Structure 1
Amino acid sequence: MKILSSVFALALMAMPLQAQEDEIKSVITGQIQSFMKDDFQTAFSYAAPNIKQIFQTPERFAQMVVNGYPMVHRPAEVTFQELVETDGAYTQDVLLRDVKGLYYVARYTLVNVAGDWQISGVSILQTAGVGA
């Protein structure tokens, strides 16, 4: 009975983490889907205040994404990888395949702003091989 109680307690503790993970994936997916439709107004709504302050408008944000992050703007494939929590902020790695077949890891950082997860940054790393 003690083992069963411990397993149940661990399951309860994991539920909030799973809910946060689902919310974080939903935010990233929502932004990528918005990019795919060139709906930069909605894509910009997923950005944290620090990003909104830098770019000021959805149009400036769009220009940065289209010119600097084509693999995020038009990914051919999206695969979620590791989610890491550090001091209340989360880093979510996402494997992206671009239209040329090259793979990248997009490392998203997210912060919770007034109960909503928002994207506070993305760094891109090209991977060494296919499906890395």
Structure 2
Amino acid sequence: MRQIRAFLLASALLLPSAAFAGDAEIKAAQGTIGAQLRAFQAGDGERAYSYAAPSIKRMFPTVDVFMGMVESGYQPVRNPQHFSFGKVEEMGVGKIAQQVMITGPDGKEYEALYTLELQPDGVWRITGVSLKASNALST
């Protein structure tokens, strides 16, 4: 009986730290997204490119090619007036999907779904972004 109590106490003590690790991972992933969006706002393509995962860098092998893709298809991400984080989902170990609500340069609301992967160096990098007009009502 004593061993069962000790096990339950140890398990209870571990649960909060496991939840905290998940929160820390989510905050770090959001930090990567926020830093990239601020780099875009500042016109710093090289810094924005640095937050892309290796898989993205293979598809867009230079800053100029990457920024051309962003300029042509992701203006709300390239020039956000405002952004805030929405729902997040852990897609597996070291993988997160994060909803970001963005007010674009046109004043319209957009929903961006970012996917990120934790890299071997412990840093979250962006593996993709899908963008659509938001269904949310503006106030």
1:31 to 30, 33, 36: 36
- Unaligned 5+ segments in structure 2 are 1-5
CA contact (8 A) 1:108 1:121 kept: yes
Identify the residue that residue 119 of structure 1 maps to in structure 2.
Answer: 126
Structure whose alpha-carbon radius of gyration is higher: 2
- Unaligned 5+ segments in structure 1 are none
Distance 2:100 2:42 in 1: 20
Runs of 4+ in 1 over 4 A off after TM superposition: 5-8
CA apart distance, 1:131: 4.3
Q: Deviations over 1:57-102 (max 9, x none)?
A: 0011111111210100111110101110112211000000112221
Distance 2:37 2:108 in 1: 17
Structure 2 counterpart SS, 1:52: helix
Identify the residue that residue 107 of structure 2 maps to in structure 1.
Answer: 101
Q: What code does the residue aligned with 1:86 have?
A: M
TM-score normalised by L of structure 1: 0.90
Residues 15-54 of structure 1 aligned to structure 2 (within 5 Å):
15-54=20-59
Give % identity: 32
Count of aligned pairs: 131
